[in-house]
Amino acid sequence: MEEKTNVLEVRDLSVSYTVANVKTHVLEGVSFDVEKGKSVGIVGESGCGKTTTLRTILNVLPSNGTIESGEILYEGENILEMPKARLQEYRQKGAGMIFQDPSSALNPVISIKNQFLEALKYAHKDKKLTKTELLEKAAKSLETVSLADPDRILNSYPFQLSGGMRQRVCIAMTMAAQRQLLLADEPGTALDVTIQDQILRLIKSLVESGELSVVMVTHSLGVIRQVTTSVNIMYAGTIVEGGETKQVFENPQHPYTQALMDCLPKLTGSGIAKGIPGRIPDYSNPPKGCRFAPRCPYADEKCRNEKPVRHEISAEHWVACFQAEEGK
């Protein structure tokens, strides 16, 4: 059997935000792995902590965010303990992020050309490439993301490009800098469907060619099914079920996952409300036991008081739910 290598391991991650002296406990005990050359999804409704998870992986939480506990291992090394220079190297060579809001990813006052040069300079430092060689690499990678006129793009500033172009520029930079891990936060959802589809297909083909590992964050189960090999179902800052995408879709175990599947294909803020009454709990005072218990039709005393632990359904599928565990 081929040996699995994990490019990323997120271990028991808890993250809070503090606003006006009130602490909100957003992520709680989040754990998942990303195998090299695979695409892993995180899906859940608005506000469940998807962007927070990705930002923590890049170690770029906003200043009011605190990592309470946990580890993020990139090729075995905890990025939360990396010295500054090493962390910078990790962001330049290791992981890159496509932000949910494409305008926040690029520096508005620097030309695309100079942003590429900056990104590539570090990645190819050892090879001592000339500026012309670096720009050739940039142009090539712009072509791979279907931006047909690389020279024009390189000579533009971000505001001269459309949102879809900017996202594709970000993907191209990540690729040209030969980063191993792409953190994609709702790629393309702010854009029109054809461009979203193009971006998803591009990401999928890069993963399939073995060049890239991806963490894909989305509201959409359709996107998860299309792009990922394994999936994590997130509810209110916790991962309630996970495993091989196919198995989770065919045999959802957690009442929340089942409800998600019932409101296919796309969830907006209120999407799930149709399936299950109530909404995400108040993070400043989260439920003591299972975070889903207040909305769960099957919850009992144990669910309200104890944290569910992971229970294996098969080698590639687990659920954190007392009720599913007991086969109810």
Ligand X SMILES: Nc1ncnc2c1ncn2[C@@H]1O[C@H](COP(=O)(O)OP(=O)(O)OP(=O)(O)O)[C@@H](O)[C@H]1O
Q: Which residue is nearest to Mg ion (CB)?
A: 51
220 lines the binding site for Mg ion (CB under 5 A): no
Q: Which of 114, 103, 104 is nearest to 160 (CA)?
A: 103
Q: Which of 100/284 has CB closer to Mg ion?
A: 100
Q: How far is the CB of 137 from Mg ion (least distance, A)?
A: 31
Q: Which does 195 bind (CB under 5 to 8 A by kind): Mg ion, ligand X, none?
A: none
Return d(Cα 209, Cα 127) in angstroms, integer.
24
Q: Which of 55/137 has CB closer to Mg ion?
A: 55
Q: Which of 62/108 has CB closer to ligand X?
A: 62
Q: Which of 24/100 has CB closer to Mg ion?
A: 100
| CB-based contact 319:311 (threshold 8 Å) | yes
Q: Which of 100/111 has CB closer to ligand X?
A: 100
Q: Which of 65/275 has CB closer to ligand X?
A: 65
Q: Which positions lie near ligand X, rule CB under 6 A? A: 17, 19, 24, 26, 46-52, 62, 64, 100, 219, 283
Site size for Mg ion (CB under 5 A):
3
3-state secondary structure the chain: CCCCCEEEEEEEEEEEEEECCEEEEEEEEEEEEEECCCEEEEECCCCCCHHHHHHHHHCCCCCCEEEEEEEEEECCEEHHHCCHHHHHHHHHHHEEEECCCHHHCCCCCCCHHHHHHHHHHHHCHHHCCCHHHHHHHHHHHHHHCCCCCHHHHHCCCHHHCCHHHHHHHHHHHHHHCCCCEEEEECCCCCCCHHHHHHHHHHHHHHHHCCCCEEEEEECCHHHHHHHCCEEEEEECCEEEEEEEHHHHHHCCCCHHHHHHHHCCCCCCCCHHHHCCCCCCCCCCCCCCCCCCHHHCCCCCHHHHHCCCCCEEEECCEEECCHHHHCCC
51 lines the binding site for Mg ion (CB under 5 A): yes
Q: Which does 174 bind (CB under 5 to 8 A by kind): ligand X, Mg ion, none?
A: none
Residue ranges in 69-128 that form contacts with Mg ion under rule CB under 5 A? 100
Q: Which does 40 bind (CB under 5 to 8 A by kind): ligand X, Mg ion, none?
A: none
Q: How far is the CB of 208 from ligand X (least distance, A)?
A: 26
Q: Which does 59 bind (CB under 5 to 8 A by kind): Mg ion, ligand X, none?
A: none
Q: How far is the CB of 321 from ligand X (least distance, A)?
A: 20
Q: Which of 52/323 has CB closer to Mg ion?
A: 52
Q: Which does 46 bind (CB under 5 to 8 A by kind): Mg ion, ligand X, none?
A: ligand X
Q: Which does 283 bind (CB under 5 to 8 A by kind): ligand X, Mg ion, none?
A: ligand X
56 lines the binding site for Mg ion (CB under 5 A): no
Q: How far is the CB of 214 from ligand X (least distance, A)?
A: 17
Residues that bind Mg ion (CB under 5 A): 50-51, 100
